[in-house]
Amino acid sequence: MVSGKLAPPVGYYAGCASANVGGNNRNTSAHALLHRAARVPAAALTRARSGPPHYARHWKKHRLPGTGLTAYTPR
């Protein structure tokens, strides 16, 4: 499962679910996203310099070279 502003297209191309807690693609709450992330592989995608979303501030940071994105994962 991927979350963040770019989650819908990334999830589509990766063949996995996407979830958003805000914006025009909002389809879940932060609580529900964290509950699901505890059970399935998950990543929150952000622009490289924007920092993690509030629900992922304690997740591990992974730079994605050449994309301008950073992924945060709970594990």
The domain ranges of the chain are 2-73
How high is the pLDDT of residue 25?
Answer: 83
pLDDT tens digit string along 10-39?
999 999 999 999 888 889 999 999 999 999
- Residue of 75, 27, 34, 67 whose CA lies nearest to 53: 34
Give the integer Cα–Cα distance in Å for 16 and 50.
24
| Mean pLDDT (whole number) for 52-67 | 95
What does pTM read for this prediction? Answer: 0.87
Apex 25 CA angle, 52 and 21, nearest 5:
40
